[in-house]
């Protein structure tokens, strides 16, 4: 009974979730049907896990904490997930689908120059990150936590980042073929630069949320990247 919420969370309001230490039946609006109840719980688990994973890291977050944040007990969480690892994998897939694959698909569907494609990609990612910063951070932080750990999740992270890199490399190659980009930089190096800056930016933004002007950082990022390609 795997979690999947690709579309569920769209407009989901982030509940403040003040460490509701003991879940009571009354603490959540009781949904009528099983279907609703299920979706509700899945939603709560997802958000609880997302918040906690980003804040404390995957390994430092216990199922108990996730459960408490979701207004359930440990056993209740295990009704929906089979393993902690699977929950994380599910979440990463979910985010990748929305943050990477959907964006690429939309862009590929339209007629554009390579440069336009790249800009569109950046803009889409930036918009997404502004709306759902935690999901993007989960990706970035997971890529750090699992980079070489030999964990089952290492592979998944690699694949996800691989898809992002491939798109950029392809687009740059296309642009170079059409002489849009004049850089002598190897496309894969350029992709690395994109990824590196992307990840660094997200981390910096999170670490210094209060002191950092996100949009300005993004503007600098975009210009730096495009100038690198010219």
Partner DNA sequence: CATGAATGAGAGTTCATTCAT
Partner DNA sequence: GATGAATGAACTCTCATTCAT
**Site of interaction with its own copies (CB under 8 A):** 55-57, 59-60, 141, 143-145, 147-150, 161, 185-186, 188-189, 192-193, 195-201, 203-208, 211-213, 216-217, 220-221, 223-225, 227-228
State which residue, 79 or 155, has the beta carbon closest to DNA. Answer: 79
Written as one string, the DSSP assignment of the chain is -----TTTTTT----------S--GGGSPPPSSHHHHHHHHHHHHHHHHHHHHHHH-STT--HHHHHHHHTS-HHHHHHH-S-HHHHHHHHHHHHHIIIIIHHHHHHHHS---HHHHHHHHHHHHHHHHHH-HHHHHHHHHHHHHTTTS--HHHHHHHHHHHHHHHHHHHHHHHHHHTTS----S-HHHHHHHHHHHHHHHHHHHHHTTTT--HHHHHHHHHHHHHHHH-
In 3D, which of 176, 192, 26, 187 has the Cα closest to residue 113? Answer: 176
Of how many residues is the chain composed?
Answer: 230
23 vs 133, beta carbon nearer DNA? 23
Binding test (CB under 7 A) with DNA, winner from 61, 90, 125, 171: 61
| Single residue of 11, 19, 26, 34 touching DNA by CB under 7 A | 34
For its own copies, which is the closer residue by CB, 36 or 204? 204
Supply the minimum distance, in Å, between the C-beta of residue 5 and its own copies: 22
Q: Which does 212 bind (CB under 5 to 8 A by kind): its own copies, DNA, none?
A: its own copies
Residue among 78, 188, 197, 217 that touches DNA (CB under 7 A)? 78
CA 106 to chain centre: 18
Cβ proximity to its own copies, 106 vs 219, nearer residue: 219
Q: From the list 73, 124, 183, 188, which residue makes contact with DNA (rule: CB under 7 A)?
A: 73
CB of 3 to DNA, least distance (A): 11
* Cβ 46 vs Cβ 3: under 8 Å: yes
Interacting partner of 227 out of its own copies, DNA, none (Cβ under 5 to 8 A depending on kind): its own copies
Of the pair 108, 166, the CB lying nearest its own copies is at 166
Q: Does 35 bind DNA (CB under 7 A)?
A: yes
Closest contact distance (angstroms) between CB of 17 and DNA is 15
């Amino acid at each position: 009974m795997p979690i999947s919420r690709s579309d569920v969370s769209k407009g989901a309001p982030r509940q403040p979730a003040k460490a509701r230490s003991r879940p009571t039946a009354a603490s959540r609006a009781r949904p009528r049907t099983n279907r609703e109840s299920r979706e509700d719980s899945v939603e709560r688990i997802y958000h609880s896990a997302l918040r906690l994973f980003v804040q404390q890291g995957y390994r430092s977050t216990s199922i108990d904490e996730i459960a408490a944040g979701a207004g359930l007990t440990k056993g209740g969480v295990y009704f929906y997930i089979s393993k902690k690892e699977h929950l994380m994998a599910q979440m990463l897939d979910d985010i990748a689908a929305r943050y990477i694959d959907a964006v690429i698909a939309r862009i590929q569907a339209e007629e554009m120059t390579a440069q336009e494609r790249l800009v569109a990609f950046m803009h889409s990612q930036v918009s997404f990150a502004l709306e759902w910063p935690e999901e993007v951070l989960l990706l970035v932080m997971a890529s750090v936590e699992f980079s070489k750990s030999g964990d089952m999740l290492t592979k998944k992270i690699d694949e996800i980042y691989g898809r992002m890199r491939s798109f950029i490399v392809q687009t740059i190659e296309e642009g170079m073929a059409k002489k849009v980009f004049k850089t002598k930089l190897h496309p894969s190096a350029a992709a690395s630069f994109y990824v590196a800056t992307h990840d660094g930016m997200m981390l910096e933004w999170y670490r210094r949320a209060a002191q950092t002007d996100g949009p300005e950082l993004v503007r600098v990022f975009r210009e730096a990247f495009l100038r690198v390609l010219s």
